[in-house]
Amino acid sequence: MVNSNQKSKKVIFLLDMDAFYAGCHMANNQKIKDKNLIVSSPNRRSIILTASYNARRFGIKAGMPLFQAEKLCKDLYIVHTDFQLYINFSEKVFDLIFNKYTKKIEVASIDECYIDVTNIWRRFGSVRKLAQTIIDDIKNSFDLSCSIGVSTNKFLAKMAVDFKKPSGISILLEKDIETKIWPLEIKNMFMVGEATERILVENNIKTIKDLAFSNKDFIYKILGKRGITLWNWANGISDDELLQTNNDLKSIGNEMTLNYTTTNYNELESLIFELSSKVSDRAKKRFLIGSVISINLKCLNNLDKNVYSKQERKKHISKQEKIINPTNDVEQIFTVAKRCFYDLWEGEPVLLIGVRLSNLTNKINSFVQQEINEWNEEKFKDLYSKVNKDLIYDLKNKYGKEVIFTGNTLQMHKEKNVSQSKYIKKDDMHLSNDQIINKWKKGNEDYN
């Protein structure tokens, strides 16, 4: 239990939605609630984004190839990704916390947020009672399950949440680090991926305790600044301030895993154009423009079939370019993305390709409406005689329906943009390339 006498200590929750993508589909369709449900894009090379707890009983987990999961469970119920559904549920959950409990939240991802409850938990009797109230509220409101990790800083709250899932509450204090955190294998530490794990293990750092007792300068030497952060975390030192300025949309990205590897540059350009088009469309719907365009690739790095290491067989590379004038125009996104691609690609077989628009700003806020009272009557008559219905029609027909609109419509778009961009830090979609490849093979002129 968090000690109420520790006035200098904050009480931080990490709210983590349980099997979120799967949960959204089941909440949206009660008929599939008891299925062995997994979420994946439609081609067999795809990986599983998440699996329901029913499916996990068969050993199925996120990141597993779809074909492997199908071998483990014969009656899998596969649903395709629906990121708009996930965004809608995510916004509802975060809105509930923001409007009903506290405005001190930091969105960590589409299904996680930190909550500073230091000043409100006493109203509920105890920290645990508040956590249970939030879990029950989300379940009753949206039919979604979540778990909550509780501590005095963000790292410990994040580590705590995985101790009791699903629908669990786990309290982890600084005094528990020695018994609950240090014995864990280093791969179980937050933000330690395969590459970092390999470096640490090669240097005989196999547990979180090993990291905590390592020389700080040595950790900096092998991992850089990120290593210092990990070293601090291993010793229970972490930030307790929530970054509420991060609660806006930061990037829009589309990527696809290919059904088969390819080195055909015409085909790859077609994919880049389609991805750029998707990114452009979604940015326009949110009235967002961005000044950084990037491309990311996953390629086969080693064609030797006797090499089984994922790290040695594949390489993940990316490149970005900053442009002077922010845009959401498909041609400009495509041009920059294609340029980045050819700067990056060395002819290896491509497994995955993605395009991203980031450093986003609100396009609507760049519009300045001229006040009528700034013109005299003669100027207004002259303007009206020039800007007639035919001209407006021509403008919209040539440049799109949102090129010109009224002040009332502008305000509606501003409100819509706020509601759509609030909370979600990154808006990603994973696509199948079946349709695009078919278009390319048929010689669709849009892809030439």
| 350 DSSP β-pair partners | 262, 299
Summarize pLDDT for 145-199 with one digit per residue, the tens: 999 999 999 999 999 999 999 999 999 999 999 999 999 999 999 989 888 999 9
Are 375 and 387 a contacting pair, CB within 8 Å? no
Please report which confidence band the pLDDT of residue 428 belongs to, taking 50, 70 and 90 as the band edges. Answer: low
pLDDT at 445 (0 to 100): 42
pLDDT in tens, 102-159: 989 998 888 999 999 999 999 999 999 999 999 999 999 999 999 999 999 999 999 9
Residues designated as active site: 112
DSSP code string of 9-57: ---EEEEEETTHHHHHHHHH-GGGTTSEEEEE-SSTT-BEEEE-HHHHT
pLDDT for res 315: 75
Task: Output the average pLDDT for the chain.
Answer: 82
Is the previous residue joined to 326 through a cis bond, with omega within 30 degrees of 0?
no
Burial class (CB in 10 A: 0-12, 13-18, 19+), 5: exposed
Task: Quote the longest CA-to-CA distance of the chain.
Answer: 82
Q: Is the pLDDT of residue 372 over 60?
A: no
pLDDT digits (tens, 9 = 90+) for 376-427: 555 445 444 545 555 555 655 555 555 555 555 555 454 444 444 455 555 5
Q: Is the pLDDT of residue 331 over 60?
A: yes
For residue 256, what are the β-bridge partners?
Answer: 353, 431
Q: Where is pLDDT greater, at 242 or 414?
A: 242
- pLDDT, residue 371, reads 46
State residue 434's pLDDT score. Answer: 55
Please report which confidence band the pLDDT of residue 436 belongs to, taking 50, 70 and 90 as the band edges: low
Helix and strand numbers, DSSP H then E, in the chain: 17, 13
What's the confidence (pLDDT) of residue 266?
Answer: 86
Q: Phi and psi (nearest 5°) for 213?
A: -95, 5
The mean per-residue pLDDT over the stretch 308-322 comes to: 69
Q: With 90 as the cut, is the pLDDT of residue 310 above it?
A: no
pLDDT at 448 over 80: no
- pLDDT at 309 > cutoff 80: no
What pLDDT is stored for residue 303 in this prediction?
Answer: 52
Domains of the chain listed by start with CATH number: 7-172 (3.30.70.270), 177-234 (1.10.150.20), 251-447 (3.30.1490.100)
pLDDT for position 295: 95
Residue 214 has pLDDT above 90, yes or no: yes
pLDDT, residue 302, reads: 56
The predicted model gives 315-326 an average pLDDT of 90
Question: What is the predicted pLDDT for the residue at 356?
Answer: 94
Calculate what percentage of the chain has a pLDDT beyond 90.
Answer: 53
| Nearest-angstrom CA–CA distance, 341 and 323 | 16
Left (φ > 0), alpha (ψ -120 to 50) or beta: where does 205 sit?
beta
Specify binding-site residues: 16, 111
What residues form the annotated binding site for Mg(2+)?
A: 16, 111
pLDDT band at 8 (very low <50, low <70, confident <90, very high): low
The pLDDT of residue 9: 85
